[in-house]
Chains A and B, each alone.
Chain A
Amino acid sequence: MHQHILSEQTLTFSEEIAEGVYLLGFSRDFSFRAGQVIGIGIEKDGPRRLYSICSGETEEEVRILYNVIDEGYLTPRLSDLGQGDTIWITEPRGEFLYDPARAIYIASGTGIAPFYSMFRSGQFGNKVLIHGERYLERFYFYNEFSDALGDDYLRCCSGEEARDVYHGRVTDYLRNAATLPEDFKYYLCGRAEMVVETRDLLIERGIPFNQIISEIYF
Chain B
Amino acid sequence: MEPLFGKTLEELQQVAGALELPGFSARQMADWLYKKKIGSIDEMSNLSKDARAALNAKYTLGMAPYRNVQTSTDGTKKYLFNTTVGKFVETAYIPDKDRHTVCVSTQVGCKMGCLFCMTGKQGFQGNLTAGEILNQLRSIDEWEQVTNIVYMGMGEPLDNLEAVLKSLEILTSAWGFAMSPRRITVSTIGIIPAMKEFLEKSEAHLAVSLHSPFESERKMLMPIQQVYPLEEVLQEIRSWDFGRQRRVSFEYIMFRDLNDTPKHVKELARILKGIRCRINLIRFHPIPDTPLDTSTNERINAFREALNDQGIVTTVRASRGEDIYAACGLLSTKELVKKQETGKP
> Which A residues lie at the B interface, using CB under 8 A?
1, 3-4, 37, 39, 48, 50, 93-96, 191-193, 195-196, 199-200, 203-204, 208-210, 212-218
Judge if B111 is at the interface, Cβ distance under 8 Å: yes
Shortest C-beta distance, A211 to chain B (Å), equals 9
Interchain residue pairs with CB less than 8 A apart (6): A4-B196, A96-B226, A199-B113, A213-B220, A214-B113, A218-B156
B226 and A1 form a contact (CB under 8 A): no
Docked CA distance A45–B112 (Å) = 25
Q: 8 Å CB contacts to A: which residues of B214-241?
A: 215, 217, 219-220, 223-227, 229, 232, 235-236
Q: Which of B110, B120, B223, B292 has the most A CB atoms < 10 Å from its CB?
A: B223
Contacts of A213 in B (CB 8 A): 219-220, 226
B232 and A1 form a contact (CB under 8 A): yes
Partner of B112, one of A193, A210, A212, A218: A218
Judge if B34 is at the interface, Cβ distance under 8 Å: no
B289 and A214 form a contact (CB under 8 A): no
CB within 8 Å for A216 and B289 given contacts A1-B236, A95-B229:
no
Judge if B291 is at the interface, Cβ distance under 8 Å: yes
Judge if B108 is at the interface, Cβ distance under 8 Å: no
Contacts of B232 in A (CB 8 A): 1
Shortest C-beta distance, B38 to chain A (Å), equals 31
CB within 8 Å for A203 and B159 given contacts A196-B121, A216-B112:
no
Contacts of A203 in B (CB 8 A): 289, 291
Docked CA distance A210–B218 (Å) = 10
CB within 8 Å for A196 and B220 given contacts A50-B227, A216-B112:
no
CB within 8 Å for A192 and B236 given contacts A95-B219, A199-B115:
no
CB within 8 Å for A216 and B193 given contacts A192-B123, A203-B291:
no
B223 and A216 form a contact (CB under 8 A): yes
- For A90, the closest partner residue in chain B by CB is B193
Contacts of A209 in B (CB 8 A): 115, 220, 291-292
Docked CA distance A39–B123 (Å) = 23
Judge if B192 is at the interface, Cβ distance under 8 Å: yes
Residues of A contacting B: mostly:
mixed
> Which B residues lie at the A interface, using CB under 8 A?
109-113, 115, 120-121, 123-124, 156, 159, 192-193, 196, 215, 217, 219-220, 223-227, 229, 232, 235-236, 289, 291-292
Shortest C-beta distance, B71 to chain A (Å), equals 30
A4 and B124 form a contact (CB under 8 A): no
A210 and B220 form a contact (CB under 8 A): yes
Contacts of A192 in B (CB 8 A): 109-113, 120, 123-124
- For B162, the closest partner residue in chain A by CB is A47
Docked CA distance A34–B322 (Å) = 43
Shortest C-beta distance, B342 to chain A (Å), equals 15
A193 and B192 form a contact (CB under 8 A): no
Contacts of A217 in B (CB 8 A): 111
Docked CA distance A212–B220 (Å) = 7
B121 and A200 form a contact (CB under 8 A): yes
Contacts of B223 in A (CB 8 A): 195, 214-216
Contacts of A93 in B (CB 8 A): 227
Docked CA distance A193–B109 (Å) = 10
B227 and A37 form a contact (CB under 8 A): yes
Docked CA distance A184–B175 (Å) = 58
Docked CA distance A192–B110 (Å) = 8
Contacts of A204 in B (CB 8 A): 289
Docked CA distance A156–B138 (Å) = 47
B235 and A1 form a contact (CB under 8 A): yes
Docked CA distance A215–B223 (Å) = 6
Docked CA distance A217–B223 (Å) = 10
Docked CA distance A200–B334 (Å) = 15
Contacts of B227 in A (CB 8 A): 37, 50, 93-96, 215
Partner of A1, one of B112, B156, B192, B291: B192
- For B124, the closest partner residue in chain A by CB is A192
- For A97, the closest partner residue in chain B by CB is B226
Partner of A216, one of B113, B192, B196, B215: B113
Shortest C-beta distance, A33 to chain B (Å), equals 12
Contacts of B113 in A (CB 8 A): 192, 195-196, 199, 214, 216
Shortest C-beta distance, B157 to chain A (Å), equals 13
Shortest C-beta distance, B330 to chain A (Å), equals 16
Partner of B193, one of A37, A48, A193: A48
Shortest C-beta distance, A185 to chain B (Å), equals 11
Docked CA distance A200–B289 (Å) = 8
Partner of B123, one of A4, A94, A196: A196
A193 and B115 form a contact (CB under 8 A): no
Given contacts A196-B121, A216-B113, A218-B156, 11 further A-B contacts (CB under 8 A): A1-B192, A50-B227, A95-B227, A191-B124, A192-B113, A193-B123, A195-B113, A199-B113, A209-B115, A213-B220, A215-B226
Docked CA distance A216–B110 (Å) = 11
Contacts of B115 in A (CB 8 A): 199, 209
A94 and B226 form a contact (CB under 8 A): yes
Contacts of B156 in A (CB 8 A): 218
Contacts of B193 in A (CB 8 A): 3-4, 39, 48
